[in-house]
Structure 1
Amino acid sequence: MNPPKIYKEELNKVFELMNKAQTLKWEVWQEYVIFTAHWWAGIFLTIIPWILWIFFHKKESTNRMLFVGFFIMLISSFLDFLGVRLGLWLYYYDIIPFIPAYFPWDCTLIPVLVMFFIEVKPKTNPLLKALLFGSLTAFVAEPLFEFVGLYKPLKWEHIYSFPIFTSLYLIAHFLSKRKNFQELVNK
């Protein structure tokens, strides 16, 4: 069953508006964002944590941690993308103007911090670590990003992020402890 013709016409108008908005965003980004101090800070926030992780992570856990990090990247990017698209928050200094979420946050800071938390003091109660991770990200990192002008919550409160970040850590911890990782290492 095909959608009615009016639906396709209306959807074509929406896509045309989206393309115009993206073109305008590109022009504004080129004029006011690229090569600014905020943009360079985003570049460093994207690269430096991974370099530190490469040097300081437990080498025997590399595959397991990269799996966990990739999982966190996918979920956090999706949730961030959704939040931006729903108008819950926005970012002012995109590293890449075609990605609505904040790349350094989703693809570096959150996954590297989760991997760090999993590897440091591995015998510590995961719920305690999850609560600490949720608190640091929701009540320290988000307000800091807001304070320096990278992020602006529109219809969002930092407290809403706390259970999300706490749950993300618990899921990542669960994934990192799966038996199949040990079987792969022992082969």
Structure 2
Amino acid sequence: MSDIGKVTEGAVKAYELLQLTTDLQLDLWTEHVVFSWRWWLLAILTIAPWIIWWKLRKKESTHRLLLVGFFVMFLSVWLDNLGAKLGWWYYTYEVLPIAPAYKPWDISLMPVFIMFFLQYKPYINPFIKAGIFALIVSFGAEPFFMWLGYFKYPNWEYIYSYFIYFAIYLIAHFFSTRDKFAKL
């Protein structure tokens, strides 16, 4: 069999296993997750931060903050999917069972938290704010949500997260301070 044939055969087997896994996850989600108290909490944590942000944001910085928020979302979802695919963590509860990303965190809590953190006392050294942000999230939020049973870390430690959150905050700060946008 040629290399192309082996790759195609392997891809078909991988696709079939992925489809089986997706079906099993959907069955589990439908039977045990959706509408449970954990699911309701996730749904609220997905929507409520954006409502709060909309009410409390610095109005004149809305577009700048949204640019940063969407960047943080993109990066969070990408890194979360990478970690889940590599087996560093997995999720036991999801709002929607269509991807291995932790949607309340990736598309709501993290970007909104960063946007608020950026606009609160913006004159403070960004490295100090990045350290505080990473500390709160890595050693506060992550252990709390793990304790609630939302995810497991078979091959990950909180300290690893600290450095990633630190870097994400600094990158978000960098984007939030850009003011040289040319008109289209």
Aligned residue runs from structure 1 range 90-129, under 5 A: 90-129=90-129
Structure 2: where are the runs of 5+ without partners? none
Query: How many positions carry a matched residue from both structures?
Result: 182
Distance 1:4 1:65 in 2: 47
Provide the C-alpha distance between the structure 1 equivalents of 2:32 and 2:23, rounded to a whole number of angstroms: 14
Match of 1:123, SS?
A: coil
C-alpha distance after superposition, 1:14-71 (max 9, x if no partner)? 1011101101111111000000000000000001111100000100000000000000
Query: 1:72-116 deviations in whole A, cap 9, x for unaligned?
Result: 000011101111111111111111101111100000010000000
Per the TM alignment, residue 10 of structure 1 is displaced from its structure 2 partner at its CA by 1.5
Aligned match of 2:26: 26
- Paired residue for 1:48? 48
1:7 Cα offset (Å): 1.4
- TM-score, normalised by the number of residues in structure 2: 0.96
- Distance between the aligned counterparts of 1:32 and 1:130, measured in 2? 37
Q: Structure 1: which 4+ aligned runs deviate by more than 2 Å?
A: none
Percent of aligned positions that are identical: 45
How far, CA to CA, are the matches of 2:73 and 2:155 in structure 1? 23
Residue 132 of structure 2 aligns with which residue? 132
Q: RMSD across aligned C-alpha pairs, in angstroms?
A: 1.3
Give the 3-state SS of the residue equivalent to 1:127 in structure 2.
Answer: helix
C-alpha distance in 2 between matches for 1:99 and 1:59: 33
Deviations 1:97-148 (A, max 9, x none): 0111110000001000000010000111111100000001100000001111
Matched residue SS, 2:152? strand
Q: 3-state DSSP class of the match of 2:47?
A: helix
> Scaled by the length of structure 1, what TM-score is found?
0.94
| In 2: Cα distance, 1:45 partner to 1:66 partner | 18
- Matching of residues 141-160 of structure 1 within 5 Å: 141-160=141-160
SS in 1 for 2:142: helix
Show structure 1 runs of 5+ residues with no match: none
